[in-house]
């Protein structure tokens, strides 16, 4: 049986290939107890059948953000990273400045689709987000805003289908073995 998702179908007759994911909350004000968007994201990752290999919180600091992502990428145990927070337009929001220069390739369509989905939830307030995604040394990195609603929209309506190996007509999981080809 096929379950419908926007822009494709999940072929439930096929077995899911779990993806090894890490969740990174970027915030100067959150700790493990108050990190609601990180918890929402971690629970959704696990509920989708993926492996949550790590979860961390770092300050809104370019070097701290890069160091955590670089460590996960270098570990060889992480296939995708989803960040929450720091994508806004205030002075402390530095996630795009930290992550974009790390990309080997940016996934331009992610931002477009995220904003389409977000617009349905928050209207023009989506303009305040600089959500982005790309590939860092063969690891997918998705950067979402820090609100629970944005995390739910980003995971439920965009990322989850592309990280589901059963999603057709295509998905990002099937590309993973070829991301480092030259």
In terms of residue numbers, what domain contains 74?
16-176
119-176 pLDDT, tens digit per residue, is: 999 999 999 999 999 999 999 999 999 999 999 999 999 999 999 999 999 999 999 9
- Assess if residue 6 is contained within a domain: no
Structure tokens at 171: 């998905």
- Assess if residue 59 is contained within a domain: yes
Q: How many domains does the chain have?
A: 1
- Assess if residue 78 is contained within a domain: yes
- Assess if residue 2 is contained within a domain: no
- Assess if residue 11 is contained within a domain: no
Q: What is the pTM of this model?
A: 0.95
26-80 pLDDT, tens digit per residue, is: 999 988 888 999 999 999 999 999 999 999 999 999 999 999 999 999 999 999 9
- Assess if residue 181 is contained within a domain: no
Tell me, what CATH number does 155's domain have? Answer: 3.40.980.10
- Assess if residue 124 is contained within a domain: yes
Q: Which residue, among 81, 17, 18, has the nearest Cα to 55 in the 3D structure?
A: 81
- Assess if residue 24 is contained within a domain: yes
**How far apart (Å, rounded) are the C-alpha atoms in residues 146 and 150?**
7
């Amino acid at each position: 049986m096929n379950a419908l998702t926007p822009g494709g179908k999940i072929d439930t007759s096929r077995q899911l290939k779990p993806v090894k994911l890490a969740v990174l909350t970027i915030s100067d004000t959150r700790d493990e107890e108050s990190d609601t968007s990180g918890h929402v994201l971690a629970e959704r990752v696990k509920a989708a059948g993926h492996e949550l290999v790590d979860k961390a919180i770092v300050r809104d600091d370019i070097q701290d953000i890069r160091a955590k992502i670089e460590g996960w990428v270098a570990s060889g145990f992480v296939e995708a990273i989803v960040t929450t927070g720091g994508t806004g337009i205030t002075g402390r929001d530095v996630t795009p400045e930290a992550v974009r220069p790390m990309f080997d390739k940016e996934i331009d369509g992610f931002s477009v689709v995220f904003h389409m989905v977000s617009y349905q939830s928050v209207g023009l307030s989506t303009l305040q987000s600089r959500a982005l995604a790309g590939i860092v040394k063969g690891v997918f990195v998705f950067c979402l805003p820090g609100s629970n609603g944005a995390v739910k929209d980003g995971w439920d309506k965009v990322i989850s289908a592309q990280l589901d190996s059963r999603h057709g007509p295509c998905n990002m999981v099937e590309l993973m073995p070829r991301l480092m080809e030259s």
